[in-house]
Chains A and B, each alone.
Chain A
Amino acid sequence: MVYVLIGVGILVCALLAILTRRLLLSAAWLALTSALVALMTYLLGAPHIAVIELSVGAGLVTVLFVFAINIAGEDITPLKSLIPKPLAVGSIVLAGGLALFLILRAAGVLNLTPLTNLESAILWEERYLDLLLQIVLIFSGVLGVIGLLANGKHTPDVEEQS
């Protein structure tokens, strides 16, 4: 039941995030979505990810959005979408429906492992290579941001944040 509530909460926040006209509000709703997702991951037995999602997803990313919106400004003029909305809704529903149907047909009833052994495991257990690669990602990302913003008038400290 709790899951249903959180799930509905996530979806409502997400919908609000994409439907709100003001970008800053959008970012705020995104942060709330992120927090609820963190809560769900916590309930699913992943406390570390919950913490990180909360700090990165709800914290850092929101800060970045606020920075970016500050520079780029709020374009709140309502714009008619370029794709007919019924087509968009229809195809999304179709894709989601097909996926759900296939998954349920394939997996039958989904089972959870009882969440008993919640050991405080070390992250990156046996996945050092991924860790190393993340450094590469960050390096490339930082270079990318520096390169993109090289001549900008306002060079905010976006790159330091990441």
Chain B
Amino acid sequence: MTPILIALTIGIPWLGAIIVWLMGDRREDLTHWVSILFSIGAAITSVLLLPNASQETALTIPIGGDFGDFTFVADGLGIFLSVIAAVIGSLAVIFSKSYMKGEGSLGRYYAFVLFFIGAMVGLVLSSNLLLIFLFWEITALCSYALISFHNDDPKAVKGGIKALIITSIGGVGLMVGALIVYAYTGSYDINNFLANYSTIPGNILALLAFGFLIAAAAKSAQFPFQTWLPDAMEAPSPISALIHAATMVNAGVYLLARFYPAFKDVPYWSEAVMIVGALSALLAAVMALVSNDLKRVLAYSTVSQLGYMVYAIGTGSVYASQFHLFSHSIFKALLFLSAGAVIHSIGTRNMLEMGGVGKKHPLVKWVFIIGALALAGLPILNGFWSKELILESGLKNGPLWLYIVMVFVAGLTALYTIRCVWLVFFGEPRSDYHAHAIGWEMIAALLPLAGAALVSWLAAGRFSVLLGEKSLPFHAIEPLPYKEMMHEILSLPTLVVMAVITAAILLWVFRKKLEGLINGLKSIRWAAENSFGFEAINNAIVKVTQSTAEALRVTQTGILNWNVFGILASVILLLAILVLGA
């Protein structure tokens, strides 16, 4: 049963992708409906996989040669992520029906969305590193194609290529890691590697560990690769919700979680992971605070929240990181989709031109607030529980100063969230926008997510069983019923965090009286608006490469004599090697 379900969960969306691509734009309504049908099909099969979770290899396709066996394992971690991908994917597709109405190239749009869903499911269900890398690259390709979907806009094209290249650079880390695993253990299989990692020499294992960290950082937009995610916001909003908030960016965290047991003893690795996570969380939160673009605020907050997850893995709590990933996927998809609804209705992404949208779209206002409160980590929403779990673990297993940073970031999160909600939904309109109606498909996608953001934390116990017993054989994850979780969380440190969050909210409320203080932080504001110089570094690298390429073109003189000289020069070179070498 499991193998069939796995094949279906990957195959249905891919088949849908081919069909939708071939259908093209001939019949718009049909294209919408076919895509919805296929995405829901994938969602159903992925949910059906849930009861079948097991650590055993479910499906093996022998490829032979240096490609190993393509193996799939439907374990708890994989199934949980594939359910997120397929279910949120189908909600995003449903949302798109209204959002993309009347756009051209719908076939291409839906084909890549469905292709992405299948690839994401494949990525998390596969246990062959080559296959993981393959799906990893396909998700990057889809992300690129969808970011630059409006490819008459140079900004979209640039953002897409930036995302593709940065995530692919991270991919090199994964690729080298996969190759090392194969070269030293003779197989691409993850569980085989986790059982035998101690046979790999220490320095090679370190290379592997840090290679995977680079891969994860690039894919999950962590420090120092975070710059691509904000620029990826040129994508249509459902894509931002699906790929750049709920699924693909989690792949990095997933990778670290999978391989944590092998790497935890590598010197400085855990510390590096924690620092990467904390730095990303901090920098992105500050940038979110000063940005005026609604989607960019959400993108920075995604980077920041992913930083929490990475930090959690560094502290050794894989469970907390995955639980936060679960919560985050829900509330961030909710936030992005409702932001998409607002943007679609108003026609701008600039929050300074909004204001008072809540009066026009009360429903969107309320679901956005639910998502925002979950993001801010207020009880009893799902974000509260998972963030507290991470902070508990950080206090217990990590250095104190990083814990303090993370608590501070929690405060910042509350601050930028409330600022965002305020600017968009409250006050008076700051420009004479015209609010268009919102389609029922959008509502249909938003409501389930809002509901889930309220109650998904109740599944914590089940979730811990799923991760602990039915997956991750080399991880130590104890079942954690939610009563126990409550007990663990409702303790003194949590009150500290709550105090910080309350202070942040008060800071916002009394912002007029604190202008002196805010002015004092102008230099930080300036640095944050310039993304702390990372954008400049990126541009410099691009510029150097391009000018080198341009300079090199001079060597193609087009003159025959110089061409012959090239031949002579290489003869001399090789003869000189002979003289010197022998």
Residues in A lying within 8 Å of B, measured CB to CB? 81-83, 88, 91-92, 94-95, 98-99, 101-102
Q: Does B363 contact A (CB under 8 A)?
A: no
Q: Which residues of B contact A91 (CB under 8 A)?
A: 565, 568-569, 572
Contacts of A99 in B (CB 8 A): 575
Q: With A98-B575, A101-B579 in contact, is A82–B562 under 8 Å at CB? A: yes
Complex alpha-carbon distance, A82 and B578, angstroms: 30
| Interface of chain A, main secondary structure | helix
12 A-B residue pairs with Cβ-Cβ distance under 8 Å, sorted by A, are A82-B562, A83-B561, A91-B568, A92-B568, A94-B572, A95-B568, A95-B571, A98-B575, A98-B578, A98-B579, A101-B579, A102-B578
Chain A hits for B562, CB < 8 A: 82-83
Contacts of B437 in A (CB 8 A): none
**Could you tell me if B575 and A83 are in contact, using CB atoms closer than 8 angstroms?**
no
Interface size on B, residues (CB 8 A): 12
Question: Chain B residues near A92 (CB, 8 Å)?
Answer: 568
Q: Give chain B interface residues in 549-578, CB to chain A under 8 Å.
A: 559, 561-562, 565, 568-569, 571-572, 575-576, 578
Residues of A within 8 A of B575 (CB): 95, 98-99, 102
- Residues in A whose Cβ lies below 8 Å from that of B572: 91, 94-95, 98
Q: Complex: how many Å from CA A81 to CA B569?
A: 18
On chain B, the residues within 8 Å of A101 by CB distance are: 579
A81 to B565, CA, bound (A): 13
- For A102, the chain B residues whose CB sits under 8 A away are 575, 578-579
Tell me, in angstroms, the Cα distance from A91 to B575 when the chains sit together. 12
Q: Which of B559, B569, B571, B575 has the most CB of A within 10 A?
A: B575
Q: What residues of A have a CB within 8 angstroms of the CB of B561 in the complex?
A: 81-83
Quick one: which of B565, B571, B576 contacts A83, CB cutoff 8 A?
A: B565
Top-6 shortest CB links A-B: A98-B575, A95-B572, A82-B561, A83-B561, A82-B559, A95-B571
A91 to B569 Cα, complex, angstroms:
8
**Bound CA span A98–B576, Å:** 7
Closest to A98 in B: B575
Q: Which positions in B face A, CB cutoff 8 Å?
A: 559, 561-562, 565, 568-569, 571-572, 575-576, 578-579
How many angstroms from the CA of A95 to the CA of B571 in the assembled complex? 7
Residues of A within 8 Å of B579, CB to CB, are 98, 101-102
How near does chain A come to B576, taking the closest CB pair, in angstroms?
7
Write out the residue numbers on chain B whose beta carbons fall within 8 Å of the beta carbon of A88. Answer: 565
Chain A residues near B571 (CB, 8 Å)?
95
With A81-B561, A82-B559, A94-B572 already in contact, 15 other A-B pairs whose C-beta atoms are closer than 8 Å: A82-B562, A83-B561, A88-B565, A91-B565, A91-B568, A91-B569, A95-B568, A95-B572, A95-B575, A98-B572, A98-B575, A101-B579, A102-B575, A102-B578, A102-B579
Provide the residues of chain B in CB contact with A83, threshold 8 Å: 561-562, 565
The answer for the CA separation of A92 and B572 in the assembled complex, in Å, is 9
Q: How far is the CB of A102 from chain B (nearest CB, A)?
A: 6
CA distance A99 to B572 in the complex (A): 9
How many Å from the CB of B162 to the closest CB on chain A?
42
Which residues of chain A come closer than 8 Å to B576, judged between CB atoms?
98
- How near does chain B come to A162, taking the closest CB pair, in angstroms? 24
Q: How far is the CA of A116 from the CA of B539 in the complex (A)?
A: 76
Q: Which residues of B contact A98 (CB under 8 A)?
A: 572, 575-576, 578-579
Complex: how many Å from CA A17 to CA B562?
21
Which A residue's beta carbon lies closest to that of B571? A95
In the complex the two chains form, what is the Cα distance from A92 to B578 in whole Å? 17
- Chain A min CB distance to B345 (Å): 66
Question: For residue B560, which residue of chain A has the nearest CB?
Answer: A82
Complex-state Cα separation, A23 to B417, whole angstroms: 84
Q: How far is the CA of A135 from the CA of B561 in the complex (A)?
A: 32
| CA of A96 to CA of B282, assembled, Å | 65
Q: Which residues of B contact A94 (CB under 8 A)?
A: 572
Q: Considering only CB atoms, which chain A residue lies closest to B565 in the complex?
A: A83
Q: Please report the C-alpha to C-alpha distance between residue A101 and residue B572 in the assembled complex, in whole angstroms.
A: 13
Considering only CB atoms, which chain B residue lies closest to A88 in the complex?
B565
Bound: A102/B562 CA distance, A: 26
Question: Roughly how many angstroms separate A102 CA and B581 CA in the complex, as a whole number?
Answer: 12
B199 CB to closest chain A CB (Å) equals 46
Distance in Å: Cβ of A81 to nearest Cβ of chain B? 7
A41 to B545, CA, bound (A): 55
* A83-B567 Cα distance, complex, nearest whole Å: 14
CB distance from B579 to the nearest CB of A (A): 6
CA–CA, A33 and B421, complex, Å: 91
Nearest CB of chain A from residue B460's CB, rounded to whole Å: 75
A139 to chain B, nearest CB (A): 27
Q: How far is the CB of B480 from chain A (nearest CB, A)?
A: 74
- Shortest B564–chain A CB gap in Å is 9
Which B residues are CB-close (under 8 A) to A81?
561
Note all chain A residues with C-beta closer than 8 A to B559.
Answer: 82
Q: Which chain A residues border B578 with CB–CB below 8 Å?
A: 98, 102
> Smallest CB-CB separation from B557: which chain A residue?
A82
A81, A83, A101: most-surrounded residue (chain B CB, <10 A): A83
Q: Which partner residue on chain B sits nearest A87 by CB separation?
A: B565
CB distance from B577 to the nearest CB of A (A): 10
Smallest CB gap from A94: residue in B: B572
How far does the Cβ of A100 sit from chain B's closest Cβ, in whole Å? 10
Q: Once the chains are docked, how many angstroms separate the CA of A91 from the CA of B571?
A: 10
Measured CB to CB, the closest approach of chain B to A87, in angstroms, equals 8
Closest to A81 in B: B561
Residues of B within 8 A of A82 (CB): 559, 561-562
Q: CA A147 – CA B572 in complex, angstroms?
A: 37
**Distance from A79 Cβ to chain B, minimum over Cβ atoms (Å):** 11
Q: How many angstroms from the CA of A30 to the CA of B559 in the assembled complex?
A: 25
Q: Measured between alpha carbons, how far is A11 from B575 in the docked complex, in Å?
A: 24
Alpha-carbon distance A98/B575, docked complex (angstroms): 7
Query: For the complex, what is the distance from the CA of A17 to the CA of B576, rounded to whole Å?
Result: 30
A101–B579 Cα distance when bound, in Å, is 9
A20 to chain B minimum Cβ distance, whole angstroms, is 19
In the complex, which residue of chain A has the Cβ closest to the Cβ of B559? A82
Q: Which residue of B lies closest to A99 (CB)?
A: B575
Output the nearest chain A residue to B574 by Cβ-Cβ distance: A98
Report how far A82 CA is from B559 CA in the complex, Å.
8
